[in-house]
Structure 1
């Protein structure tokens, strides 16, 4: 399994040096990568259908609890087959769709990266590993959505998608870390055995909220749904792959995977049912007003994702079975409709539903594919969509007695609207009289119209033999989600019952709505009047306010003056120290515990104070540097008085080197410009005096704290045993605090580069002035 995940990453990296071959007639060879991966996963259908599952673990970062743990069960197999199966169609389609594009190699590099990220996501059995692939899907989708980077709309849509999904990723990571700390493990399978510990923990509502936020942002649920219609600026292969079958279902996968861990309680049930129910109704209603084919498909996709969240929230056996089937149903017909839309746009140059009609005369195979996909989306008998829709109604009718009526009404209304939307996308462009301007249109490459036709036909084939899908695909998927064996059988005919009646009502009402609804720019403008109360407008307004605040904060706090930064850092440190001293209570000084002051110490301190005064009052940089060095040497003497010769030598060496460097740098700098006024001097003096008083109080408080030697004893006992060093100070710096020392060296190296650049600076006489 590890190789299947890495194969796309390896292919993506190889495209960098060998991408030019994708621009030749041999470019289609890359499309066989997802085909081979699909065949690899297909061999697991039978054993997993018989109740088996497969795991693979490779040590990676065990100290952080991150290992390459992969698990292939019913749920991950369904998504792996979708990623590679529909991915195979997309690869062949994209090779023809983007033929001759100067960046086609770049496109396939991003696509391979995304495929690997999705496979890693659905196969991961470690939360932190899953998060890594989760973020990789966001990053790769950012490049795919913004592929046409010369267009402002594409760049804006890519940034919006990355911002929303990235924000969700931040919350998801926080939820995973909390969940891992509560359960004591990041292994997803192990979490199932600790459900009671997790759900009884006081932080469980917070954990659920964080994980749910990550899922609903990725799966475009209300109120974060608006990024998905904007992402339709991407090339059609991207829309078909990411926004119908794979990326947007990552959030669905996450909720399904964590359903046995976080589900089965009122918080899970009512939250997801409310979010999913609102999303499916809201998006299905909006799909009726779109005049752009991609807009219709985008909103109907959001509605379908809402249905899946709704079913996972319901959480019953019937609901999980319905969700397991509907994932595949939606992927088949929606990917087909997206690819058909791409063909129409590619050949006609427009996606406007008010213009498109009669295309069956010139694009007959595409029209057949659109017709079959639309029938499946509407749930017509003998299509897979009919099975999926019936299962949804069965789940709502078998819900709790106080909710089943409302849930069923919501499901029926949503499906009626989606029937109309599916007919608008799959049938309307092909019916009616062909406009004159489209007479010269011809069928595109076979690699473009065969994939959607294949997906549409599969929707009919699976609808005619649903038992196979139920036994080998949907059954193991439901078993994985419910975390217990479940057996059921999908049938075409269940007799005359209430579910069949609801299906007939849905089809009839949806068809009637399709014939009576006429999308137009006028209707689109009317619904645009409500944009000021839309989630997109509100979130964008909040984002603008954040930008304004950030600008204000940056101008005030990061103005480019080192003296300003030092002042703010010292003030903040003073506040923290003063607060801590306040919490510690009044300071009682025991004068008898202080050692007597010697003549040498008094003399040294007087010299130190004199050097400080000279540093402050002089107008010469060179004099200030020399006076500062006197301060350093005075401190060296104090170290000597208190029996710390090693510190004294270190201070002496550093101080001497600093003075030399300062003199060299100042020699090259322009003349000193003194901008300080009396008010600034007084302010700085007060800040400095307060800081000194606070540090003195800290020192006095430390003197009266009971002395403990646990830390020093540890270093003394283990310096030689663990680090093989007899100099304890050196061992602490190099081994026990090695990372601190390493970063100090990095900082000094950066400072050295800055000093060197200043030494090499050559200013003109005008610049010096």
Structure 2
């Protein structure tokens, strides 16, 4: 199982040296990876149908609780088959759709990386491992959405998608870590055993909030939905793959996977019902005003994702089975419609539904695919969409209290709008009279119309023969969600009941809406009048405000002048140290014990004072550097006087090297510019005096503290025993604190390389300007 996931990453890397060979006719070979993986996962269907659960464990970073723990059950199998099955068709479709594209190998590399990351998400049993793959889907989708990187809108859409999903991922990470910390394990299966403790903990609400935001941003729930329509700038194969069966359903998968751990409480149920309900109605309503085929599909996808969150929020066995069925229903018809839209755009050069009609006469197989997908989307009897819609109504009608009436009404209105949107995308471009400008269109390569036709036929086949999928895929998926056995065979006919009546009302009103309302630019303009109130524009306004604040902050605190940085660092240090010093109790101004001071110490202090005065008042950089070196050498003498020859040698070496570096750098700089006025000098003098006073007071307080020689005794006793060194200071620097010393050497090496680069730098006249 580990290799099945890593295969996508390996193949993605192989595209770097060998991708150029998989262009042209050989591009179809790229589909061998998803086809092979689909076959691999399909082989587990009998075992999963019998109730088995296949686990895989490989230690990775056990000290941090991160291991390669994978679990294949009904839910992960359903998603794995969707990821690899629809992925296989998308790989084949792209071979014809992007034929001749100079970056086709790059496209397949990104797509393979994304597929592997999605498989990791749905198969991971360790939440930290799940999060790693979760972020990989965000990163790889960034490259896919921005695949047309020469287009500014594509780049912007990719950044928006990455920003929204990445921000949600950051909060999700905090929630998953909290879950693992409280349950004592990062394994989802082990968390299920401690679910009652998690639900009763004071941090349960915070965990839900963090997990919800992560799931909502990834699955485009209101108010984070706006990134998904923007992501339609990507090529159609990417839209079909990411937005029908994979990326946008990652958040839905997460909620379904964590339902046994966190679900079943009011804090879980009501937020998901409310957010899911708002999202499904909002997306469906907006879809009927769009005139771009991808826009229609994008907003109907948002609505479908809202339905799934809505059903998981209800949390009954019926609603979870309805969610499992609708995941498959939506993946089949939405991928078919996306791929159909891609062919229409490819052949006609437009996706404007107001300009498209009669294409059945030139794209007949595609017209069949669009019609069948639209009928499944509408929920016509003997389609898989009909069964899915009935299960949704069953779930809402069997909730408690007054909710059945409200939730069922909300579901009916949403499905009416979605029916209209499905007919608009799947039927409208092919119905009516063929415009003269499209008469010369010819049917493209079979790889472009066969995949959507196959998906649409599957939507009819599963509807006419639901036994093909219920026991093998859908019931095990619902069982994995609720963590208890569900055996509810899907049926075509449930008799004359309320659900059938609601289905009939949905069909009648949806068809009536389609016949009565024609898409137009006027309707789109009307809905766009409310854009200033949309979450997208409100968040964009907030982003601009943050950007303005960042500019002011940067200009104030990060203006590029080293002297300003040093001044603020020192002021902050003075305030922080002074606060800690004066809040720690009484301060002694004179130490209890003073060492005797001789003529040598007084002489050295005098030299130090003179050197400091010269360094501060000199107008020559070299003179200031020499004066600074005198200060360093004076400190060396003081170390010698007070029995610290090792420190003296260290200080001498560092000071000498520093002076040499300063001289090398300053030698090529222009003459000294004295820009400080009297006020600036007074300010600097006050800051320096305050800093010196605080350090002096801290030194005095340290002298007044009782000496604890535990650490020094440890080093003295173990320097030779453990490190075989007789010089304790050297042993501390090289062995006990070897990493500190190593990083100090690295820093100095980097500084030396930088200085050398500056010395050797030769700029052209244009570069100097």
Partner in structure 2 of residue 681 of structure 1? 681
With 712-721 and 410-419 compared, the bigger mean Cα shift is at 712-721
Q: Distance in 2 between matches of 1:132 and 1:732?
A: 38
Do the aligned partners of residues 590 and 625 (structure 1) sit closer, same or farther apart at CA in structure 2, a change above 3 Å counting? closer
Contact 2:589 2:697 in 1 (8 A): no
Partner in structure 2 of residue 437 of structure 1? 437
Q: Distance in 2 between matches of 1:49 and 1:767?
A: 69
With 670-679 and 695-704 compared, the bigger mean Cα shift is at 695-704
Contact 1:288 1:517 in 2 (8 A): no
Partner in structure 1 of residue 116 of structure 2? 116
Partner in structure 2 of residue 201 of structure 1? 201
With 598-607 and 491-500 compared, the bigger mean Cα shift is at 598-607
TM-score, normalised by the number of residues in structure 1: 0.96
Residue-by-residue CA offset, 1:112-167 (whole Å, 9 max, x unaligned): 11111111111112222211111111111111111111112111111111111111
Contact 1:171 1:211 in 2 (8 A): yes
Partner in structure 2 of residue 176 of structure 1? 176
Q: Distance in 1 between matches of 2:365 and 2:385?
A: 21
Partner in structure 2 of residue 555 of structure 1? 555
Do the aligned partners of residues 442 and 763 (structure 1) sit closer, same or farther apart at CA in structure 2, a change above 3 Å counting? closer
Partner in structure 2 of residue 155 of structure 1? 155
Gaps of 5+ in 2: none
Question: Which SS does the other structure have where 1:244 is aligned?
Answer: coil
Q: Distance in 2 between matches of 1:510 and 1:202?
A: 47
Is 1:607 aligned with 2:631?
no
Do the aligned partners of residues 431 and 719 (structure 1) sit closer, same or farther apart at CA in structure 2, a change above 3 Å counting? farther
Contact 2:340 2:366 in 1 (8 A): yes
CA RMSD for the aligned pairs? Answer: 2.0
Partner in structure 1 of residue 502 of structure 2? 502
1:451 positional shift: 0.5
Residue-by-residue CA offset, 1:323-343 (whole Å, 9 max, x unaligned): 111111100000000001011
TM-score, normalised by the number of residues in structure 2: 0.96
Q: Distance in 2 between matches of 1:495 and 1:345?
A: 42
1:726 positional shift: 5.7
Do the aligned partners of residues 54 and 594 (structure 1) sit closer, same or farther apart at CA in structure 2, a change above 3 Å counting? farther
Where do 1:43-54 residues align within 5 Å? 43-54=43-54
With 597-606 and 318-327 compared, the bigger mean Cα shift is at 597-606
Partner in structure 2 of residue 592 of structure 1? 592
Q: Distance in 2 between matches of 1:406 and 1:525?
A: 31
Where do 1:299-698 residues align within 5 Å? 299-589=299-589, 591-698=591-698
Partner in structure 2 of residue 12 of structure 1? 12
Contact 2:137 2:247 in 1 (8 A): yes
Contact 2:387 2:463 in 1 (8 A): yes
Q: Distance in 2 between matches of 1:105 and 1:142?
A: 17
With 596-605 and 68-77 compared, the bigger mean Cα shift is at 596-605
Where do 1:182-261 residues align within 5 Å? 182-261=182-261
Do the aligned partners of residues 716 and 343 (structure 1) sit closer, same or farther apart at CA in structure 2, a change above 3 Å counting? farther
Contact 2:281 2:413 in 1 (8 A): yes
Question: Which SS does the other structure have where 1:347 is aligned?
Answer: helix
Q: Distance in 2 between matches of 1:277 and 1:689?
A: 64
With 190-199 and 307-316 compared, the bigger mean Cα shift is at 190-199
Q: Distance in 2 between matches of 1:21 and 1:269?
A: 52
1:444 positional shift: 0.8
Do the aligned partners of residues 450 and 711 (structure 1) sit closer, same or farther apart at CA in structure 2, a change above 3 Å counting? farther
1:18 positional shift: 1.3
1:739 positional shift: 3.7
Contact 1:157 1:231 in 2 (8 A): yes
1:765 positional shift: 13
Q: Distance in 2 between matches of 1:523 and 1:344?
A: 23
Partner in structure 2 of residue 2 of structure 1? 2
Is 1:67 aligned with 2:67?
yes
Residue-by-residue CA offset, 1:267-317 (whole Å, 9 max, x unaligned): 111111111110000110000000011111000000000001111111111
Contact 1:668 1:761 in 2 (8 A): no
Partner in structure 2 of residue 42 of structure 1? 42
Contact 1:41 1:77 in 2 (8 A): yes
1:631 positional shift: 0.9
Residue-by-residue CA offset, 1:11-45 (whole Å, 9 max, x unaligned): 11111111122223222111121001000000111
Question: Which SS does the other structure have where 1:496 is aligned?
Answer: coil
Do the aligned partners of residues 179 and 710 (structure 1) sit closer, same or farther apart at CA in structure 2, a change above 3 Å counting? farther
Q: Distance in 1 between matches of 2:203 and 2:713?
A: 39
1:659 positional shift: 1.7
Q: Distance in 1 between matches of 2:167 and 2:161?
A: 10
1:704 positional shift: 3.3
Do the aligned partners of residues 762 and 368 (structure 1) sit closer, same or farther apart at CA in structure 2, a change above 3 Å counting? closer
Partner in structure 2 of residue 31 of structure 1? 31
Do the aligned partners of residues 27 and 592 (structure 1) sit closer, same or farther apart at CA in structure 2, a change above 3 Å counting? closer
Q: Distance in 2 between matches of 1:762 and 1:94?
A: 49
Question: Which SS does the other structure have where 1:671 is aligned?
Answer: coil
> How many residues matched?
768
Question: Which SS does the other structure have where 2:222 is aligned?
Answer: coil
Partner in structure 2 of residue 279 of structure 1? 279
Question: Which SS does the other structure have where 1:440 is aligned?
Answer: coil
Q: Distance in 2 between matches of 1:542 and 1:41?
A: 45
Q: Distance in 1 between matches of 2:127 and 2:730?
A: 39
Do the aligned partners of residues 684 and 69 (structure 1) sit closer, same or farther apart at CA in structure 2, a change above 3 Å counting? same
Residue-by-residue CA offset, 1:668-720 (whole Å, 9 max, x unaligned): 22221221211111111111111111112222223334444454455556656
1:198 positional shift: 2.1
Do the aligned partners of residues 446 and 300 (structure 1) sit closer, same or farther apart at CA in structure 2, a change above 3 Å counting? same
With 228-237 and 195-204 compared, the bigger mean Cα shift is at 195-204
Q: Distance in 1 between matches of 2:486 and 2:722?
A: 55
Q: Distance in 2 between matches of 1:329 and 1:721?
A: 71
1:660 positional shift: 2.3
Q: Distance in 2 between matches of 1:363 and 1:661?
A: 75
1:89 positional shift: 0.5
Q: Distance in 1 between matches of 2:722 and 2:113?
A: 44
Question: Which SS does the other structure have where 1:245 is aligned?
Answer: coil
1:621 positional shift: 1.6
Partner in structure 2 of residue 106 of structure 1? 106
Question: Which SS does the other structure have where 2:442 is aligned?
Answer: coil
Do the aligned partners of residues 738 and 188 (structure 1) sit closer, same or farther apart at CA in structure 2, a change above 3 Å counting? farther
With 601-610 and 555-564 compared, the bigger mean Cα shift is at 601-610
Question: Which SS does the other structure have where 1:354 is aligned?
Answer: helix
Do the aligned partners of residues 691 and 449 (structure 1) sit closer, same or farther apart at CA in structure 2, a change above 3 Å counting? same
Contact 1:255 1:312 in 2 (8 A): yes
Contact 2:646 2:729 in 1 (8 A): no
Question: Which SS does the other structure have where 1:58 is aligned?
Answer: strand
Question: Which SS does the other structure have where 2:71 is aligned?
Answer: strand
Q: Distance in 2 between matches of 1:125 and 1:745?
A: 42
Residue-by-residue CA offset, 1:447-494 (whole Å, 9 max, x unaligned): 111101110111111112213322111111112111223222111111
Do the aligned partners of residues 549 and 428 (structure 1) sit closer, same or farther apart at CA in structure 2, a change above 3 Å counting? same
With 62-71 and 39-48 compared, the bigger mean Cα shift is at 62-71
Q: Distance in 2 between matches of 1:35 and 1:765?
A: 58
